[in-house]
Amino acid sequence: MMRKYSDKKNVQLKNYYEDRFYHAPKTQKLNLENSVFEQDFLQISQKFKIKKSFIELDFWVIEIEKDDNVALLNELKNLGYSCFTDASAIDFVAQKNGFEVYYQLLNMDKNLRVRIKTFVGIKEKLQSIMSVFKGANWCEREIYDMFGIFIINHANLKRLLMPDDWFGHPFLKTYPLEGDEFAKWYEIDKIFGKEYRQVVGEENRDPGFVDEKDTLNFSRIYHEVSKGEAPIEDKYLQDYQEEDGVAFVKKVKRNQAKILDKRR
């Protein structure tokens, strides 16, 4: 019997519910002609190769070559887009064998926003924009940490969220949502050593698991105690509804409560 097929290129894609009548909405892409961005576009288009340029949800969107990122962002800064707000990436490895990296800037004088997009191949590197916007420091570190995109000329390119010796990059679509074998044993291996795996046991990675005896991180309903105190067995009830009831709201009849075996 063959093993059930699972897409290894995007292990994070799971549809728990599908509405057969639902169609994902598409945003409208508008031309820059006669818009507030037209003059700025004409100025940068004389110096740089612009692959695409349009307005989407009040954002001016520009797609450029990756080697032009520093020079073009510096030009936009001189045009008044002096506030750096964000930078990140999107995994298109399965479709295009690379990543889409984007930067977002704000012109505070004119209340205008621009998004600069570029494509970086899976084995290619990207220039740091810290020479133009120092605020890109941690964003570029996050791009490296989460996607594995190497940033050239960064002042301190190291992991931002994950430990320095972490294996893999969690925002890749090939990275399991619950972590891989390395993630499963990371804390036990670091704190106790691999020889203690059998002693300590496997880490519970079920996000829905609740330890009813944990009084530090979980509130035991009707058995609440102050933080750190021993659990109590006696059950007490709390009624937050007024005695006379509230209009259009029925008072809960606790003695008639029942646990459903399945949803209707």
Q: pLDDT tens digit string along 89-106?
A: 999 999 999 999 999 999
Domains of the chain: 29-152 (3.30.460.80)
The tokens for 21 are 């009548």
pTM for the model stands at 0.70
Residue 50 in this model has a pLDDT that exceeds 80:
yes
- Of 99 and 220, the structure prediction assigns the larger pLDDT to 99
User: Are 114 and 81 within 8 A, CB to CB?
Assistant: yes
The tokens for 167 are 């294996």
State how far the Cα of 131 lies from the Cα of 155, in Å rounded to an integer: 10
Question: What is the reported pLDDT for 239?
Answer: 57
Task: Find the length of the chain.
Answer: 264
Its sign, for the CA torsion 17, 23, 24, 25, is negative
Q: pLDDT (tens digit, 9 = 90+) per residue, 167-203?
A: 889 999 998 877 677 777 888 888 888 888 888 887 7
Please report, rounded to a whole number, the percentage of residues in the chain having pLDDT higher than 70: 82
- Of 153 and 202, the structure prediction assigns the larger pLDDT to 153
Strands 112-121 and 98-107 come out as antiparallel
Question: What is the reported pLDDT for 99?
Answer: 98
Highest mean pLDDT among 22-36, 141-155, 166-180: 141-155
